[in-house]
Amino acid sequence: MRAVNLADAGFLMMEKRETPMHVGGLHLFNFPKGVNQRQFLQEVLAVLRVQEEYRRPFGEYVTTGRAGPLRLYWEYDSHLEIDYHVRHSALPQPGRYRELFMLVSRLHSTLLDRNRPLWEIHLIEGLQNNQFALYSKMHHAAVDGASAMHMVNAMYSRNARTRAKHSPLSFAAYEAYKKQQLARRAPRVEPRGKELKNVMEVLRQQYDTTANLVSAFRQFGGAFFGRSGNLSVPWHEVPHTSINTNVTGARRFVAQSFEFERVRGVCKATNATVNDIVLAMCSGALRRYLASQNERPPHSLKAMAPVSLREETDLDSSNAVAYITADLATDIFDPEQRLRKIQASMAAGKGLLRSMTSREATLFMQVTQVPALLGSALGLAGRFPAFSTVISNVPGPREQLYWNGASLEGMYPASIVFDGFAMNITLVSYRKQLDFGIVACRRSVPQVQRIIDYLESSLQELEELAGTRNVAPAGKARARRKTPAAAAGKKTAATKTQAKTKAKTKAKAPRARTKARASVKPKLASKDKKKG
């Protein structure tokens, strides 16, 4: 047996029937040209079911020691049943994305069996458009977003001719991947038990970092009294909406892709990062959603924004992540002022983390998360939410990937919700797109599919601000990618707007079009505007 570290154990301790603590993802593939689809699926299923040594902790289950549930351990499973963990499903006709999302919603609602290794993989056939899908879920105690991306890179190939011989969770596949990626391995930075018992004293004696942590805690506490500038912290002025309630065990999953070039164009024109624009998109979408439910609050929503603490050479850690509290500025009408408020909030949070080493930041996060653990254990998280929602941006591969010759068309993350925030927005950057996966409590957050349209409307709003709306590079026409919602026959806000724009453009004179192109990048106001 080996002990489960404190950060990973937190996800196991917080889990209950209403709040499963697994993360997952839905990957869409195009079949290779000319293959027998049934034979192809049988071949990849056989690879998934190869029973071999698995990398930690996917060949282990969770057990307790003498201290009972207060001390958890990973125990090797000598009786692993591969058919239980790898399953084959088929969609009912006509196999649209709607049916696929319904299936994923149900699969994502069920708990993983604690008596077995904490993972499942579902191969899904029956989709239209010559496609199939792979849905996987793994306990958050075993992976975070960055480690999940390492697993994706280990599983897939940049060469369409490559054929997999090992399970993606196997020790052999992962060691081969690490050998390709790393010239040498760095030791994991992880706090020891005695450090957690008396953080300040041990750090004073061994690491001489007391001043950094004291300063960080002082800034953290000062934010509650308005003495820390733009720094936002959990629980402070977090409004109570339908998103911030206790949740049931039922989930709703929706997904959509957005062209990366659109977001990057706004970034360049507004001097913002991709993460800033993503947060601004989500802010505008949440404003519209809450307005549609007649409950937009006077105070701004706050989002937990995970930030990786993982060293570049660390491929083995299950969780190496910190959290910034992002002020989404949903109380501000003007989109430019809203964006600048989000930027200031993120800069303050990143500044706090930069003042500490990786070890100090890990300790700081573990100490400041204790109230959240207690609140969840006592059933108070729904009454006193720490955040409004979670918005996580996971960097993914930028090249086209293949799995046994099948091209990967999209990877849509499916994360967790629990008492206090009933919606989670996670996205992965892949190829030339941003793939959003949204998970919500089915009862607490009705009609969550509207968020997809509101994200599009919010991005259009930012494009208008930046002067990049409907502007294509010289000599090139903008290609609109077929996304899950569009392919399902759903008219998104973008589809309707483009139809109107096209009709108006035909009626305009050539001189008017030339004038419009000349004003592509208007200067943004340097001073903040008043709230609306």
Residue length of the chain? 532
Tokens of 474: 């010289």
CA angle 181, 184, 187 (to 5 degrees): 110
Peptide bond preceding 57 in cis form (omega within 30 of 0): yes
Q: Find the helix packing angle between 335-354 and 274-292, rounded to 10°.
A: 130
Annotated catalytic, 140? yes
* Integer Cα distance of 2 and 442 in angstroms: 37
Whole-angstrom distance between the N-terminal and C-terminal Cα of the chain? 58
289 phi and psi angles, rounded to 5 deg: -65, -50
Q: Which of 140, 150, 166, 236 is catalytic?
A: 140
Strand order in the sheet with 68-76: 2-3, 68-76, 60-65
154 phi and psi angles, rounded to 5 deg: -75, -25
> 89-102 burial string, b = 16+ CB within 10 Å, else e?
eebeeebbbbbbbe
Provide CB contacts within 8 A for 420, sequence distance 6+: 244, 375, 376, 381, 382, 384, 385, 386, 387
Burial class of residue 400 (count of CB atoms within 10 Å of its CB; 0-12, 13-18, 19+): middle
* Integer Cα distance of 59 and 117 in angstroms: 6
3-state secondary structure 261-294: HHHHHHHHHHCCCHHHHHHHHHHHHHHHHHHHCC
Give me the amino acid identity at 485: A
* Integer Cα distance of 446 and 423 in angstroms: 11
* DSSP H or E segment with residue 147: helix 145-155
List, by residue number, the catalytic residues.
140
